[in-house]
Amino acid sequence: MNFVHQQRQLVALADLVADIGEPCWASGNTAAALRAFDGFDLRPPFHILTTRDRNVRRIGHVIHTTLDLPLIDRGRVHDIPVLSATRTLIDIARSTSRQVLTAALDSAMRDGGTSEDFLHGRLNALRRSGRQGPAALLAVIEGQEITRGGQSWLEREVLRLLDRAGLPKPSTQVALARRGDRLVRVDFHFPGTRVVVEALGYRWHRSGAQLAVDAARFNELVLGGYLPLQFTYAQIVEQQQMVVSSIRRALQQPASRVPVSA
């Protein structure tokens, strides 16, 4: 989009916002374009979010409503009220392809619009409302982490929790047992102890098949003499004191016989 055309669109959007009157915010694809996310251009129909108690309609544009928009999810770009970069990512995740959403996420992180820690905090807070966006965005994050290799944000967060609490540093991605012809690899194992810690990932609803696999892995670890602890994404983000306390208590258990790794 050339500069002159972009300026015309900004003026048209500013006029629409002034006509509707605050409180309202650019949202969806419009917010993504204002935030300069890769893959988004500012063009009608403009997407506007306003409070549910207002009866707002504008021909040629899309009006969304919400009961409330916390201050943490608000911002201004070119003096136009707009969703924050983080909330915009969650908003567009409902209706954007994985490829486009991945590019938007990469550009938001690159340009400093959000950070891993802040993004995960808002994702966990908003997922409880039943929105579809957090699940879709977490799937993209998980896919990026698998492609990149190395530790996920969730695994790094566990390591940060342990370090802040002064607990020993565990080994990561260790094969400790076998299930059939496959190795049972765990997220964390504290060498010289029976204690294993598993971060259950971003999915808060697991399929029946995945539950069966997880149960079989867990049982194999217990039968092998290990003491496995499992923590969900929400617990690691929201209940950090409980996570640390549980791991500390496990490490204080009598060692008895330490298993030999597979």
Distance (Å, rounded) from C-alpha 202 to C-alpha 18?
40
List the domain boundaries for the chain: 3-148, 154-251
Which pLDDT tens digit goes with each residue over 50-70? 999 999 999 999 999 999 899
What pLDDT score does 126 carry? Answer: 85
Distance (Å, rounded) from C-alpha 148 to C-alpha 158?
19
What pLDDT score does 260 carry? Answer: 60
Whole-model pTM over 0.75: yes
Measured from the Cβ of residue 19, the count of other Cβ atoms closer than 10 Å reads 10
Strands 47-51 and 62-66: parallel
pLDDT more than 70, % of the chain: 90
Check whether 48 has a pLDDT greater than 70: yes
What pLDDT score does 203 carry? Answer: 58
Q: What is the mean pLDDT of residues 101-108?
A: 94
To the nearest 10°, the Cα dihedral for 126, 132, 135, 137? Answer: -90
161 within 8 A of 193, measured Cβ to Cβ: no
Which pLDDT tens digit goes with each residue over 131-173? 667 888 988 888 787 666 668 889 999 999 999 999 999 999 8
Structure tokens given for 229: 């602890």
Q: At residue 33, what is the residue type?
A: A
**CATH code for the structural domain at 154-251:** 3.40.960.10
- Mean pLDDT value across the chain: 89
Distance (Å, rounded) from C-alpha 172 to C-alpha 155?
9
Measured from the Cβ of residue 110, the count of other Cβ atoms closer than 10 Å reads 9
> Residue 228 in 3-state DSSP?
strand
Q: Does the N-terminal peptide bond of residue 45 adopt cis geometry, omega within 30 degrees of 0?
A: yes
User: Between residues 38 and 183, which one has the greater pLDDT?
Assistant: 38
Q: DSSP character for 55?
A: -
What pLDDT score does 207 carry? Answer: 65
pLDDT confidence tier of residue 119, bands split at 50, 70 and 90: very high
Structure tokens given for 91: 């908003």
User: Between residues 144 and 114, which one has the greater pLDDT?
Assistant: 114
